[in-house]
Each structure stands twice: as structure tokens, then as C-alpha cells.
Amino acid sequence: DIDRWQRSEYPQKSLTLTLCLKRSRLLCIITFKYLHKIEFAVDSSVFIYLVYSEMWTIWIQKMYFKLKWLFYQIYTVLHVFQKTYRRDLATITKLYQCLPVYKRQCERKPIYESFRKIVKDHPQKAAFLFEDECWTFSAVKELSNKIATYFEGEGYKKGDAIALLLGNCPDYICIWLGLSQIGVPVALINTNLLHDSLIHSIKIANCKGVIFGSNSAHGN
């Protein structure tokens, strides 16, 4: 029958097979026209079977390469995670610890309000270790309260600036916290400044008072 078909003994019969690639999918269109001869039915079925077998093979190959690519991506992600997870966990931990500080900054509360909360939670915990001394949070609060009471009694009020020229010691923080209680801003002056530079720094901050240590008095 195939030979007779090729010799055009069936001129009104036609077999059209269109294979095209559309959107990465193999589209097979098989059209039979005027197929009323039973002799060709067996051969056409075999042909269709071969076409679909080839399509199935191509689909399996495509799935194989897709799965191979997927497993490679998973392996890459796991490999990178294994190399960097310790660093990432440390970074996340640090960010979590900084959240309370960020929250306080957003609330724009005075520094002394935050200090009071710390003193309430950890009154006997060490705040400063200076030379042979251990300053607890309650001791720092007590000294800062005395400083606030003294300067308030001297007539300093909210908005009056005071220059602080002091070396590295716990009193530095206590003075700063005490003055912040009564709303007095503190101009922190560099102890290395001398003469005209020192005078200019005090004047530009419009300070109404200067707090300095014995070393600063002898040096300047």
C-alpha cells in the first residue's frame, strides 16, 4: 500500500505531518484527508506511534536537563550557606541586640531616661571599671543626681550650655548625665586644645560655665 501511495495511485489521499517548535514545546499536528482505505490504516498507526515515541524521548531529555540544572542550583545554595551561615547568624544577632538602641533613638528620649531604665534593671551591675575602682550603675546615678541638684541650685536652667574639659574618668559621664537631667547641654571640649583654639571652642558653643579638672587648669 505504501508503494501504491508513493506511485500516486491514491491521488486524492494526502498525509500532512507538521513538526514545529513553539514556546519550547514540540507541537505535532497529523492530518489525514480522505483516509478511507483500510489498507493504509495499519501503516498510519505505526507512523503515529513512532512520532509519539520520538516526542516522548525528547520530553524525557528536556526533563533530565531541567532536573540536572535544578539539583546544581540547590547544591550551589547549600554550599554557599555552609560557608557563610556562621557569619550571617552573628550579623543577625548583632542587629537584634541593636534594636533597643534604635528604638530609643526613634523615640527621641533624653539619654538620662534610658540610663534610668538600665539602673532599674541592673542597679548593682558594674558600669565602669576604672583603675582599681568599680562603679556600679546605682553609684553613677547617685553622683549624677548630686551634680544635677548642685547646678540647678546655682541657677542653671534648660538651654544653658556648659563646657566640659575633663580627662578620662568616670566623673566625666556622671557630669554629663547629671546636667542632662536638668536640660543643660554639655559642650565636650577636646583637652588638647590650647589658648585661642580653646577660647574659640568655648565661645562658639555659647557656654555659661566651664567644668575642668586639675590637669587642664595647669596645662592651659
pLDDT tens-digit series, residues 127-167: 888 888 899 999 999 999 999 999 999 888 888 899 988 88
The label of the residue with cell 547549600 reads 78
- The H-or-E segment that residue 121 falls in is helix 111-121
Q: Which CATH architecture has domain 111-215?
A: 3-Layer(aba) Sandwich (3.40)
3-state secondary structure of 100: helix
Contact 189, 201 (CB under 8 A): yes
User: What is the value of pTM for the model shown?
Assistant: 0.52
pLDDT tens-digit series, residues 181-211: 888 888 888 888 888 888 888 888 888 888 8
- Of residues 177, 182, 146, the one with CA closest to residue 164: 177
